[in-house]
Structure 1
Amino acid sequence: MRTTVTSVEAIPVEVPVAPLEEGGLAPYSSNHDEVETVGRTLVRVGTDDGVTGWGEMLTAMQSARVTCAVIEDVIEPNLVGRRLEDIGEFLDSFYYPYVKTRPFLGAVETALWDALGTVRDASVSEMLGGGVRDSVDVAYCLGMHSIEDSRRYARRAVEEGFDVLKTKAGPDWKHDVERIRAIHEATDGELELRIDPNQGWSTDEAVRVGAMLEDDGIYLQYMEQPCRIDSYGTYERLRQRLRHPIAVNEDTYFPRNLYYLCERSAADVACVDLVPAGGLTAVREQIAVAERAGLSLTHHNGFDLGIKQAAVLHLYASTPALNLAPDSVYYGWADYILSEPLVVDNGAIAVPDGSGLGIDVDEGKVETYRID
């Protein structure tokens, strides 16, 4: 039976993050912002037989107008009228030489997979191969805080069953070292630790952080994207000077950067993201490249609402190479847009087992948080 795409709608929303003292994460501080509410853009795809599929992305450049315009004025005319099943053909045909459209395509492609699963009465993970895992352990994420608050919230992560904690870092790298020491001591070394300066350190600072932690017998699960992505040669040198694994995240948003780093043996971990990669199909191609180069793999989180979080779970359920827990802040929202929110239980989230993404979007909640 032929199912045809009839509409593509972009819906900008802004959802509050729960305060830290109430079990959430706000204010979530990094070296470039402080998060208390998050702007996301939802994508709703409709078909001629009444099926709806959902996708999600971070609002590009913090502009709902720009994000919606790209999806509805550029992508929709190229997609409406195509067969729902022709996901790969659509992605291969979509090309604009001077504009990076992969994040927008990533959100739309997620919605296409969701709708296709509904049509075929199969989950996204089943359509992608499935069978790897029914539940996914996730990493607890913590912004930059005082030493005492870092201790307190790290202990809370352990109490709630998490095994891995990721914290933001920079611009005061010495304070970051003190926070990592405090977290390690407060949890008796029970947590695997990740630190993410978001490209905020120089090569020298990254080396000194690593050396000081090594002197204390603290070895990170990985140090994520410590230096700028355009500092060519930096990561190759860092791997030669540090015993901490080096992860790249923002570099994976540019496929050629990832290929280069793999070729130069300049990273230990690839922290991929299905939306900037261009969707589930594209991110699995990146995963294959990194796996062949011997890198460990995990998935990034950008304050994802339930739609993209479900897509990540299905990706893990169908991709054995994803061997490290994905970041997640799903437990941190003040409210949810899913009729039945995903549940973080003992540091893990079950893979939804319904058709498509296995979720039901509460369109009333979507309208509540919808913005102009």
Structure 2
Amino acid sequence: MPVTDVRTHRVRVPLHTPFVTAVRSTSQVEALLVEIRDEDGRSGWGEATENWRVTGSSIAGAEAAVAGPLAAAVTGSDPDDLEPATRALAATVTGNQAAVSAVDCALHDLAAARLGVPLGQLLGTTRRSVATDVTLAVDTPERMRDAARRRRAEGFTVLKVKLGRGEHDDLARLTEIAEAAGASTVLRVDANQGWTPKEAIRLVRAVEDRGLNVEFVEQPVAAGDIEGLAEVTHAVGLPVMADESVWSPRDALHLVRTRAVDLINVKLAKCGGLRAARHLVALAEASGVGVLFGSMMETHVGVAATAALAATASGGGPVADLDAAWWLTHSPVAGGPRYDGAALVLSDAPGLGITALADPAPALSPR
């Protein structure tokens, strides 16, 4: 039963609260959902999101890549034989990682659906939920403090704090949040490339001196400044994570060899899907580097695929930063995952559990 059809669906879903970082601000998610069908009518789903500032991906570009060379690469292939099919995808286009990821994930989803098992089980786990943090978007210290209190009341015990708007203001923001959230709350700091190495070192040392409960610092400097990243990592006690600096196993290997980071953030839209992500995870584990499974601002489709992979993780340390779909007013699909407080609960149905596109839901009131 080979792949017979590759379809694309454009969706636009509003956020219940604007999402602001050091590099961009958005009030909606625009995504391209990819649906792959076999001749028996089963479907597999994947997602590519638009993100000009980080990945350079656009809906139009992803749609062209999927409808053209990527569809040609998988049509007629056997979805039960994932390795050659996904390997062919990775060699089909240069760049366009979000589009490659969408088709790769759809193939994995279809393979699991054909076996009648959840995607996580295909990847090697029976876990059906993954704990996630929740992000505090960049704002004034007072508003971020109030947001921290609301998120705590909603059951989130790990807060990812977006910073990178200025060294002294960032320290004030983080201090306000730590006091409001309480000592039992774990904080993760994400600067989104917003600091120079010297600024990052001063700020992280100040955080350490104040005894704030920070778990790690993510992407403190520009993505291409690997020397600066290493400088920060060697100068501070807190673990340092790379996000925008690591897209591929080659990037990860360079970071490992230069001892530039303690952890890497694995995102399917950056690396090109589940096949590539599993290679990244294997490399990190073999090198003693920690892994966080993250996402772009995307819908339940993309988040579910990453969560299925995150559910396979073992050992201690950070696991998931998968609150992206939590920000949406509704899911664009029927079925799939849901949030239960700080837990992302995966479907027990075959594959990702997605059955169809959902009817548009009314927008919710801002939180």
| Counterparts in 2 of 1:31 and 1:120: CA distance versus 1, 3 Å | same
| Counterparts in 2 of 1:242 and 1:141: CA distance versus 1, 3 Å | same
1:214-233 to structure 2, matched below 5 A, reads 214-233=208-227
1:59 aligned residue (46, 50, 62): 50
Distance 2:292 2:202 in 1: 25
2:350 aligned residue (348, 351, 355): 355
Deviates more, 1:49-58 or 1:336-345: 336-345
1:184-223 to structure 2, matched below 5 A, reads 184-223=178-217
**Does the CA-based 8 Å contact 2:57-2:96 persist in structure 1?**
no
**Does the CA-based 8 Å contact 1:317-1:351 persist in structure 2?**
no
SS in 1 for 2:217: strand
Task: Write out per-residue CA displacement over residues 96-132 of structure 1, whole angstroms, 9 at most, x where no aligned residue.
Answer: 598214332211011111111121111111111113x
Distance 1:365 1:111 in 2: 22
How far did residue 330 of structure 1 move? 2.4
**Does the CA-based 8 Å contact 2:130-2:343 persist in structure 1?**
yes
1:182 aligned residue (156, 169, 176): 176
2:107 aligned residue (109, 112, 115): 112
Task: Write out per-residue CA displacement over residues 209-250 of structure 1, whole angstroms, 9 at most, x where no aligned residue.
Answer: 111112211242111111112213222221221111100111
| Counterparts in 2 of 1:219 and 1:107: CA distance versus 1, 3 Å | same
How far did residue 351 of structure 1 move? 2.5
**Does the CA-based 8 Å contact 1:298-1:322 persist in structure 2?**
no
Kindly provide the amino acid, as one letter, of the partner of residue 47 in structure 2.
E
Task: Write out per-residue CA displacement over residues 68-89 of structure 1, whole angstroms, 9 at most, x where no aligned residue.
Answer: 1011111111211111123211
How far did residue 152 of structure 1 move? 0.9
**Does the CA-based 8 Å contact 1:310-1:359 persist in structure 2?**
no
Deviates more, 1:321-330 or 1:307-316: 321-330
Distance 1:87 1:102 in 2: 18
**Does the CA-based 8 Å contact 1:199-1:228 persist in structure 2?**
yes
Distance 2:91 2:346 in 1: 35
SS in 1 for 2:354: coil
**Does the CA-based 8 Å contact 1:9-1:72 persist in structure 2?**
yes
User: What runs of 5+ residues in structure 1 fail to find an aligned partner?
Assistant: 19-25
Distance 1:95 1:168 in 2: 32
**Does the CA-based 8 Å contact 1:38-1:303 persist in structure 2?**
yes
How far did residue 290 of structure 1 move? 0.8
Greater share of strand residues, 1 or 2? 2
1:288-303 to structure 2, matched below 5 A, reads 288-303=282-297
Partner of 1:345: 340
The question of 1:159 aligning with 2:153 is answered yes
Partner of 1:31: 22
The question of 1:271 aligning with 2:265 is answered yes
| Counterparts in 2 of 1:322 and 1:255: CA distance versus 1, 3 Å | farther
Q: What's the TM-score once normalised by structure 2's chain length?
A: 0.91
1:82-101 to structure 2, matched below 5 A, reads 82-94=77-89, 99-101=94-96
Q: What's the TM-score once normalised by structure 1's chain length?
A: 0.90
Task: Write out per-residue CA displacement over residues 172-200 of structure 1, whole angstroms, 9 at most, x where no aligned residue.
Answer: 12111111000000112222111212112
User: What runs of 5+ residues in structure 2 fail to find an aligned partner?
Assistant: none
Partner of 1:127: 122
Distance 1:129 1:29 in 2: 35
Deviates more, 1:76-85 or 1:337-346: 337-346
Distance 2:192 2:316 in 1: 22
Partner of 1:11: 9
1:79 aligned residue (50, 54, 74): 74
Distance 1:304 1:322 in 2: 26
Distance 1:140 1:283 in 2: 22
| Counterparts in 2 of 1:321 and 1:67: CA distance versus 1, 3 Å | farther
